[in-house]
Amino acid sequence: MHLVYKGSVNRWECDENDHMNVRFYSRKLSEILFCGARVLGGSTGLGFDEVIGCLSSQHIRYLKEARVATPLEGYVAAISSNQILTEIRNSSSDEVLCAAVNTLKEFDVKPSQELPEYAGPRGLADGDLRFIGNNIQQAKAMGFRTIGKGVIHQDECMKNGQLQLHHYMGRFSDSMPNLWGELYPEATSETEGGAVVEYRMDYLRPLKVGDRYELVSGFLGAGAKTIHFAHLLFNCDSQRCCVASESIGMRMDLVHRKAVEISLSLGKTLERLLIGSKT
């Protein structure tokens, strides 16, 4: 793999769980992807905005926490003609903290390695996301809940006026306490918080400066320690879906830094709130 990034985790990149927030993983992954596309020869003559604009889908695995001051490295490799693997590693231990498979439109690079097992899908199968064709009214009728609303600001956008990639993930992250709050009176406390271990993001059309958005989300199921979510991000004016996503999250013990098991009572609450279930 090619080394294309070196940096570290800043205090201001960490959230209430005292580890690097997913939006900053996405920001660093964007930087790694652009540099990697140049190294791999798939972006001759294309600028940063244009390369990021070619991204149609990301499948992200979060494998280890990145705490404040963790030294980081970013690596890339081509795994197919239009897919680039990006990794964020702890440069001291060489542990892979995050791995993302990036699918790009109108790209043609020479594959250099196979997809490692740790970077492949685990809780989320690749393929078309099941709710990608629904409008917002249909989504709400199925049980999706509004968890985020707002407007896109100029300082959040690239030179072409389109929202920077990591701000999509930032909107998802900022809105999640509203969804966790359906299950917990306090979505986050000093001893427990919510975290994500896997994300699939399909980018359908960009949000731009001044666009109003609405994020609707819901529950799809649960395992012993994980909860399966679905998310749809809509442009309020066009009523068109901009990002369709599914993710695997968990409750996290912030003292012992480990996942919390789903209790029987919580499991029953989830069953009542599942998308498509009868209330």
Average pLDDT over residues 79-87: 96
pLDDT at site 266: 85
157, 138, 169, 140: which is closest to 247 by C-alpha? 169
CATH fold for the domain made of 1-116 = Thiol Ester Dehydrase; Chain A (3.10.129)
pLDDT in tens, 65-79: 999 999 999 999 999
106, 100, 91, 92: which is closest to 51 by C-alpha? 106
Assign 266 to helix, strand or coil. Answer: helix
Instruction: Write down the H helix ranges in 122-227.
Output: 136-142, 165-180
Q: Which range, of 87-91, 125-129, 216-220, 221-225, averages the lowest pLDDT? A: 125-129
Q: Where in the chain is the domain with CATH 3.10.129.10?
A: 1-116, 127-279
For residue 109, what are the CA distances in angstroms to 1, 6, 144, 173?
A: 14, 24, 38, 32
Quote the percentage of the chain above a pLDDT of 90: 77
Q: Rounded to whole angstroms, how far apart are CA atoms 229 and 274? A: 9
Q: Rounded to whole angstroms, how far apart are CA atoms 232 and 130? A: 11
DSSP string covering 83-152, please? Answer: EEEEEEEETTT--EEEEEEEEETT------SPPPGGGS-SSS-SS--TTTT--HHHHHHHT-EEEEEEE-
Q: Rounded to whole angstroms, how far apart are CA atoms 14 and 93? A: 20
Q: Rounded to whole angstroms, how far apart are CA atoms 9 and 273? A: 36
The answer on pLDDT for 187 being more than 60 is no
For residue 46, what are the CA distances in angstroms to 34, 53, 58, 149, 264?
A: 9, 10, 20, 33, 52
Identity (one letter) of the amino acid at 29? L
pLDDT in tens, 92-125: 999 999 999 999 998 889 999 999 999 999 989 8
- Contact assessment for residue 156 and residue 164, using Cβ atoms and an 8 Å cutoff: yes
Tell me the pTM. 0.94
Domain 127-279 belongs in CATH node 3.10.129.10: yes
